[in-house]
Amino acid sequence: MRVAIEGLEVALSGRTVVSGVDLLAEDGEIAGLIGPNGSGKSTLLRTVYRYLRPHAGRVLLGGTDIRSLTPAASARLVAALPQERGSDFELSVRAVVAMGRTPYKRAFAGEDRADADLVTAALEQVGMAGAGGRRFSALSGGERQRVLLARALAQDPKVLVLDEPTNHLDVQHQVELLALLRAQRRTTLLSLHDLNAAASLCDRLHVLHEGSLVASGTPREVLTPELLAEVFGVRVAVVDHPLTGDPLIAFDHRAM
Amino acid sequence: MTALATAAEAEAEREPGARAGWVGALLGVALVAALIASVCLGSSDVPLGEVWSSVARGISGEEPVPGTRDLIVWQLRVPRALLAAVVGAGLGLVGTAVQALVRNPLADPYLLGISSGASLGAVAAIVLGAGAGGLLGLGLSSAAFVGALASFTLVWAMARRDGGFSPLRLVLSGVGIGQFLSGFTHYLVLQAGDDQQTHGVLFWLMGSLGGAQWSTLALPVAAVLLGLVVLLARARALDAMLMGDETAAGLGVDVARLRRELFVVTSVLTGVLVSVSGAIGFVGLMVPHVCRMVVGGAHRRLLPVAGLFGAVLLVVVDLVARTALPDQELPVGVVTALIGAPTLLYLLDRRLERG
Asked if residue B157 lies in contact with residue B134, where contact means CB atoms within 8 angstroms, the answer is: no
Q: Could you tell me which residue, B56 or B64, shows the higher pLDDT?
A: B56
**What was the pLDDT predicted at B130?**
56
Q: Note which residues in 123-162 of chain B have CB less than 8 A from chain A.
A: none
pLDDT at B104 over 90: no
Give the residue-averaged pLDDT of B58-84.
89
pLDDT tens digits, one per residue of A141-167: 889 999 999 999 999 999 999 999 998
**H-assigned helices in chain B:** 2-13, 20-40, 48-59, 70, 78-101, 114-127, 138-159, 167-192, 197-206, 218-233, 235-243, 245-250, 255-277, 283-295, 299-323, 332-354
pLDDT tens digits, one per residue of B157-185: 888 776 666 767 888 899 999 999 999 99
Closest CA to B294 of B73, B74, B23, B35: B23
Closest CA to A241 of A206, A208, A195: A195
Residue B131's pLDDT band (boundaries 50, 70, 90)? very low
- The domain that holds A204 is classified in CATH as 3.40.50.300
Q: Could you tell me which residue, B326 or B129, shows the higher pLDDT?
A: B326
Q: Could you tell me which residue, B330 or A71, shows the higher pLDDT?
A: A71
Q: Where are the domains of chain B?
A: 79-354
Give the residue-averaged pLDDT of B85-90.
98
Domain that holds residue A130: 3-251
Q: How many domains does chain A have?
A: 1
- Give residues with Cβ within 8 angstroms of A191, minimum separation 6: A32, A33, A34, A41, A42, A45, A162, A163, A164
Q: How far apart are CA A229 and CA A224, in angstroms?
A: 8
Q: Report the Cα B147 to chain-centroid distance in Å.
A: 17
pTM: 0.90
Asked if residue A116 lies in contact with residue A162, where contact means CB atoms within 8 angstroms, the answer is: no
Tell if the CB–CB gap between A51 and B245 is shorter than 8 Å. Answer: yes
Angle between helices B20-40 and B283-295 (to 10 degrees): 140
Size of interface A-B (CB pairs under 8 A): 122
Closest CA to A48 of B251, B250, B247, B237: B250
pLDDT tens digits, one per residue of A19-67: 999 999 999 999 999 999 999 999 999 999 999 999 999 999 999 999 9
B352 touching A (Cβ < 8 Å): no
**What was the pLDDT predicted at B90?**
98
**What was the pLDDT predicted at A200?**
94
Report the topology of domain B79-354: ABC transporter involved in vitamin B12 uptake, BtuC (1.10.3470)
Residues of B in contact with A49 (CB under 8 A): 246, 249-250
Residue A137 DSSP one-character state? G
Q: How far apart are CA B341 and CA B168, in angstroms?
A: 15
Q: Which helix (H) or strand (E) holds A46?
A: helix A41-48
Q: How far apart are CA A215 and CA A22, in angstroms?
A: 11
Angle at A232 between CA A141 and CA A26, to 5 degrees: 70
Locate the chain B residue with the closest alpha carbon to A157. B251
Q: Could you tell me which residue, A198 or B3, shows the higher pLDDT?
A: A198
3-state secondary structure at position A25: strand
pLDDT tens digits, one per residue of B198-240: 677 777 888 889 889 999 899 999 999 999 999 999 999 999 9
Give φ, ψ of B111 to 5 degrees: -65, -35
**What was the pLDDT predicted at B198?**
67
* Residue A256 lies inside a defined structural domain of this protein: no
Q: How many residues does chain B have?
A: 355
Determine how β-strand A15-25 pairs with β-strand A3-12: antiparallel
Residues of B in contact with A79 (CB under 8 A): 250
Cα-Cα end-to-end distance for chain A? 43
pLDDT at B16 over 90: no
**What was the pLDDT predicted at B134?**
52
Q: Could you tell me which residue, B126 or B28, shows the higher pLDDT?
A: B28
